[in-house]
Amino acid sequence: MVAAGRRAASASKSFSGRRAALEELREIEYERRFRNAPRGTFKNLIFAAIGPKPKIVLRGAVNNDAEIVQNAENCLVYSDPLSAHGLTWRQMVTW
């Protein structure tokens, strides 16, 4: 019984280590793929609606000017500046 508990604890540590390594590989792959991303200003990352979904209208198609006209209080809008390599999963989780 004690050995089974040790194995379970060891497997849990091993899994968390593997998970961290996999997340790091994903970050590296993401950065590699998007190194030559389009230039310009980042806009309109709107997600995580809780309750009624937001009503979003496009005010200007050329500049991608979007506006939330209803239910803005029910969603998250990422408005922090982006680094040169874009938004990584780790940055979003920290946010």
Query: Could you report the per-residue pLDDT of 70-95, keeping only the tens digit for each?
Result: 988 888 887 787 777 777 888 888 88
Residue 66 has pLDDT above 60, yes or no: yes
The confidence score (pLDDT) of residue 36 equals: 64
pTM higher than 0.75, yes or no?
no
Q: Residue 21: what residue type?
A: A
> What digits encode the pLDDT tens for the residues 9-63?
555 567 788 888 888 888 887 777 766 655 556 666 777 778 888 888 888 777 7
What's the pLDDT at 8? 53
- 1 three-state secondary structure: coil
Q: Which two tokens stand for residue 30?
A: 């993401």
> In the chain, what is the greatest distance between 2 CA atoms, to the nearest angstrom?
66
Each domain of the chain, given as residue ranges in start order, spans 1-33, 38-95
Closest CA to 46 of 84, 23, 86, 73: 73
Task: Take residue 31 and report the two structure tokens written for it.
Answer: 């950065």
